[in-house]
């Protein structure tokens, strides 16, 4: 009886010692994770991260995480080239041969560009609320601001100025050019269709289906939300509820139709989250009755880990 009790205590001690080790490897992917922001995004402005609370949650369980900054507003190709330069820097600094790219909103097409032109440097591309088949909101902006019009001049001036301010506050200074009208073109239905013809990897061939899970050695994944108003305390939700009307009743996250976010293996495109909730914004004020966005990123890291990525 006494021996059995001692064995039980010993087993408990071993379990206590081993638990932190096991818990600490849940997000430990083989390759570094690189997070890429969307339109008017940033890495961090002071204590506020674009991917709010997500990098630290991933690092806590073993992941190597890098949050990059590209132009807050510019074409997909320009942002993609900026990202490619930083990917090469991350690989040089870490000694890794590839990275796992995760992009939100315009970050979705941005990471796809890098995966397309340099698949040898990319293990996986995960699109979160990615504008992979255009946005009705971008279409409307281009419609009300045609070339040469006063409205385009005003919108472009304000938007470019905002992009410059965001870049400055997040440490980018003047090194990242801002061209909001080029961003709008890239995010429009026509713009994404043209981009997809040049970079089709992972893009579904049906209206709301899945795309190829793996192309040129790169694994493709996506998830997104399908609700616009999710938290009465979030000051951004009313605006997203308004822009969500542009989709004519189709399920959307406020800025992108759910089906238009699909890429590769679709984990889900109907979480009760809006476009900002997908990256745990505004400062964590998301839907209390839906899976936490932080958890979704952790789960994806674990999915990549289990896939040997």
State the catalytic residues.
105, 253, 275
For residue 59, the surrounding DSSP H or E stretch is helix 54-60
Q: How many residues does the chain have?
A: 309
Q: What is the DSSP letter of 257?
A: B
Collect all residues with Cβ–Cβ distance below 8 Å to 126 and sequence separation of at least 6: 100, 101, 102, 103, 111, 220, 221, 222, 223, 300, 304
User: Rounded CA gap, 87 and 64, in Å?
Assistant: 13
Collect all residues with Cβ–Cβ distance below 8 Å to 14 and sequence separation of at least 6: none
What are the b/e assignments for 172-199, b being 16+ CB within 10 Å? beeebebbbbbbbbbbbbebbeebbeeb
């Amino acid at each position: 009886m006494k021996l059995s009790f001692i064995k039980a205590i010993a087993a408990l001690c071993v379990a206590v010692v081993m638990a932190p080790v096991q818990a600490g490897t849940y997000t430990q992917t083989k390759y570094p994770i690189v997070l890429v922001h969307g339109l008017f995004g940033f890495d961090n402005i002071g204590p506020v991260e674009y991917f709010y609370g997500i990098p630290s949650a991933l690092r806590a369980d073993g992941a190597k995480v890098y949050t990059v900054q590209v132009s807050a507003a510019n074409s997909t190709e320009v942002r993609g080239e900026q990202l490619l330069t930083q990917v090469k820097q991350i690989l040089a600094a870490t000694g890794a041969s590839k990275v796992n790219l995760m992009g939100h909103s315009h970050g979705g097409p941005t990471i796809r560009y890098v995966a397309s032109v340099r698949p040898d440097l990319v293990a996986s591309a995960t699109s979160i609320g990615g504008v992979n088949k255009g946005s009705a909101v971008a279409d409307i902006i281009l419609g009300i601001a045609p070339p040469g019009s006063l409205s385009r001049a005003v919108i472009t001036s304000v938007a470019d100025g905002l992009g410059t301010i965001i870049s400055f506050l997040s440490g980018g200074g003047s090194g990242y050019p801002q061209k909001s009208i080029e961003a709008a073109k890239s995010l429009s239905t026509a713009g994404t269709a043209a981009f997809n013809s040049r970079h089709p990897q992972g893009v579904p061939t049906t209206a709301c289906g899945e795309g190829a899970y793996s192309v040129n050695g790169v694994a493709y994944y996506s998830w997104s939300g399908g609700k616009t108003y999710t938290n009465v305390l979030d000051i951004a939700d009313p605006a997203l509820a308004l822009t969500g009307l542009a989709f004519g009743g189709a399920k959307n996250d406020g800025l992108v139709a759910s089906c238009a976010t699909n890429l590769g293996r679709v984990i889900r495109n109907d979480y009760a989250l809006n476009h900002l909730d997908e990256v745990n914004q505004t400062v964590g004020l998301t839907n209390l009755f839906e899976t936490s966005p932080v958890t979704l990123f952790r789960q994806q890291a674990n999915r990549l880990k289990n896939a040997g990525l």
